[in-house]
Structure 1
Amino acid sequence: MTATTLLDFGDEPYVLLTTFRANGDRVGTPVWVARDGDHLVVMTAAGTGKVKRIERNALVELTPCDRRGRPKPWAVTLTGRAEVRESEGDADATRALVKAKYGVPYRIFTGIERIVRRLKESPRVALWIHPTADVPDYLATP
Structure 2
Amino acid sequence: MTNTLEAVGKADYVLLTTFRKDGTPVGTAVWAVADAGKLYVWTVTDSWKVKRLRRNSEVTVQPCSVAGKPRGEAVEGTGRVLDEAGTDRVRKLLMRKYWLMGPITILGSNLRRGKKGTIAIEITLAP
Q: TM-score, structure 2 length as denominator?
A: 0.89
**Aligned residue for 1:83?**
80
Q: Unmatched 5+ residue regions in structure 2?
A: none
- Give the 3-state SS of the residue equivalent to 1:103 in structure 2: coil
8 Å CA contact retained: 1:7, 1:39: no
Query: Which one has the bigger strand percentage?
Result: 2
Change in Cα spacing, 1:120 to 1:126, as seen in structure 2 (3 Å) is closer
**Aligned residue for 2:14?**
15
**Aligned residue for 1:46?**
45
- Note the C-alpha offset of 1:98: 0.6
Change in Cα spacing, 1:120 to 1:34, as seen in structure 2 (3 Å) is closer
**Aligned residue for 1:65?**
64
- Note the C-alpha offset of 1:114: 5.8
8 Å CA contact retained: 2:5, 2:37: no
- Note the C-alpha offset of 1:110: 3.3
**Aligned residue for 1:109?**
105
- Structure 2 letter corresponding to 1:30: A
Q: Would you identify which runs of 4 or more consecutive aligned residues in structure 1 move more than 4 Å?
A: 111-115
Q: TM-score, structure 1 length as denominator?
A: 0.80
CA distance in 2: counterparts of 1:41 and 1:33, whole angstroms: 5
8 Å CA contact retained: 2:5, 2:34: no
Root-mean-square deviation (CA, aligned residues, Å) is 1.7
- Note the C-alpha offset of 1:112: 4.9
- Give the 3-state SS of the residue equivalent to 2:114 in structure 1: coil
**Aligned residue for 2:91?**
95
CA distance in 2: counterparts of 1:46 and 1:60, whole angstroms: 17
Query: Which of 1 and 2 has greater Rg?
Result: 1
CA distance in 2: counterparts of 1:92 and 1:112, whole angstroms: 15
CA distance in 1: counterparts of 2:6 and 2:55, whole angstroms: 23
Aligned length: 126
8 Å CA contact retained: 1:15, 1:33: yes
CA distance in 2: counterparts of 1:122 and 1:101, whole angstroms: 19
